[in-house]
A and B are shown apart, each in its own frame.
Chain A
Amino acid sequence: MATHSHQDLFPHGLSAGAKLLVYLLLSIVLITIDARFRVLKPVRAAASIAVFSLQETVQKPWLIWRKMDAFFTRQSQLLHDNQNLHQQSVLWHLSQQRVNHLEQENQRLRALLALQQQHTLQSHAAEIIGVPRDPYERKITVDQGSQQGIQAGSAVIDEAGLIGQVTRVYPLTSEITLMTDKDQSVPIQINRTGERAILFGDGSNHGATLRYLPNNTDIRVGDLLVTSGLDGFYPAGLPVATVTHVDFASNRAFALVVCQTLGAVDRNRHVLILNTAKNSGHTH
């Protein structure tokens, strides 16, 4: 009928419920693909470039303000800092000489023992440009990517200690999973005794736990944990965390050891990426 030709049974297309159902199924498919198969890497890489440029534009005023703030620092402050740094440099120099000496001695000893030579570390300084809001993601984004030679799996440190590991590398940025992420684990050894264990992140800001240590382990509050270097990703001897709580309850199979990490991303904006990765695969 010509007069009713415009009156369709479904004048507005799909109903809201049907639309929602379609998008629900689409989301489930997407989430499953992303979480299980990791085939969306190129999509993420392309999106990261767009997000990075937007992020840079947004953060520009903030960066300019920081630069201006730095420019107007007081003269006396600078003099004071300069003196302090000078003193520190003398001290560092002194310890550097000792380190040189020890390194040479160590090399001789290693050669004697015919051990594998430890190669020197290449490092890249990087600036943190983004922290996701998601509480499940203990991750940060930095402004160095595959263009600058960053490889997935590299260890990331700040001046206090280990922070985490590079897990995704994009052309201009890369994503670092902090070792406090609940999926992250670091092979460590207790500095005082040399006992090896594995440190697991617990998803909070600074917390991590040592699991699977028997109740008779010699570990005390205040012990320093350093990387053992056994996994081939983290170089040996980086400070990682200090023990803050030890509980040897006999009703548990293992001791409860809570630690606080030394490195922290909320303290400053700069990190150091150590190129130690031997392969460039996605690692956890």
Chain B
Amino acid sequence: MPMIAPKGVAISTRQHGWLIATSLLIALACNLLPWQVDLLWLRPDFLLLVTLYWAIYQPNDIGIGSAWWLGLMEDMADGAHLGQHALAYAVAVYAITFFQRRLYNFPPWQQILPIMATLLIEQLMTVVIATFVGDSRQVLLYFSAVLTGTLCWIPIWYLLRIQHGPARPRQQ
């Protein structure tokens, strides 16, 4: 009897390296777009959304480690404390790995709630870290980005799915 028997649907391990890298770079660029100061609160974290997409569909390429490095890039782009978003991204992807198998088979509209919960976890982590470092201001407003981020999930999902190749055979 084999010790490790594969369970469930086999996850595609095709190489998508260039696509993953390009989409992540574009997402980071979107985070750097000029926004009006008053609307800045609503800016969704595109990099995190794309990272979560790949964590669901290419878990062998984007895991906790890569998420940590991507978060570090966001820290540098944002001028935040180094490590703040890095840790939050790692925790978010860790949360996603628990439901990765299920999310993989969900249609995008069913993924919305877990994605929203994950975005919430990420924002909470950032706020907690910022509080530890000694900041505290306007916390509630900050969470408005969770809602806009959730709204962006479906468009991003379809955009990446088009690039990602033909749809998987859907389980009945």
A interface, CB within 8 angstroms of B: 4, 7, 11, 16-17, 19-20, 23-24, 26-31, 33-35, 40, 43-44, 47-48, 51, 54-55, 57-59, 62, 129-137, 139, 141, 175, 182, 203-205, 265-266
Of all chain A residues, which has the CB nearest B98? A16
Flag whether B76 is at the interface (Cβ < 8 A). yes
Instruction: Tell me the chain B residues, 122-158 only, with Cβ under 8 Å from chain A.
Output: 126, 129-130, 132-139, 141-142, 145
B97 CB to closest chain A CB, in angstroms? 5
A58 adjacent to B29 (CB under 8 Å)? yes
Range, interface on chain B: 35 or more
Q: Which 9 pairs of residues, A with B, have the shortest CB-CB distance?
A: A30-B83, A27-B87, A136-B135, A266-B37, A203-B137, A47-B76, A31-B83, A34-B82, A27-B83
Residues on A with beta carbons closer than 8 Å to the beta carbon of B78: 132-134, 137
Residues on A with beta carbons closer than 8 Å to the beta carbon of B129: 31
Given contacts A19-B63, A130-B32, 8 further A-B contacts (CB under 8 A): A20-B91, A28-B83, A30-B82, A51-B76, A58-B29, A62-B33, A134-B126, A136-B135
List 28 interface pairs A-B (beta carbons < 8 Å), by A numbering.
Answer: A16-B94, A17-B94, A20-B91, A20-B94, A23-B86, A24-B90, A26-B83, A30-B83, A31-B82, A31-B87, A33-B82, A35-B81, A48-B76, A51-B77, A54-B28, A58-B30, A58-B32, A59-B34, A62-B33, A129-B34, A132-B78, A132-B80, A133-B35, A133-B43, A134-B130, A136-B136, A139-B79, A203-B138
Q: Is the interface of B mostly helix, strand, loop or mixed?
A: helix
Q: Is the interface of A mostly helix, strand, loop or mixed?
A: helix
Flag whether B58 is at the interface (Cβ < 8 A). no
Residues on B with beta carbons closer than 8 Å to the beta carbon of A54: 28-29, 32, 77
Given contacts A20-B94, A27-B86, contact A55 B81 (CB under 8 A): no
Q: Which of B3, B33, B97, B138 contacts A7 (CB 8 A)?
A: B3
Instruction: Tell me the chain B residues, 80-103 only, with Cβ under 8 Å from chain A.
Output: 80-84, 86-87, 90-91, 94, 97
A135 adjacent to B82 (CB under 8 Å)? no
Residues on B with beta carbons closer than 8 Å to the beta carbon of A31: 81-84, 87, 129, 132-133
Residues on B with beta carbons closer than 8 Å to the beta carbon of A27: 68, 83-84, 86-87, 90
Residues on B with beta carbons closer than 8 Å to the beta carbon of A129: 34
B28 CB to closest chain A CB, in angstroms? 7
Q: Measured between alpha carbons, how far is A108 from B35 in the docked complex, in Å?
A: 50
Most buried by A among B33, B38, B79: B79
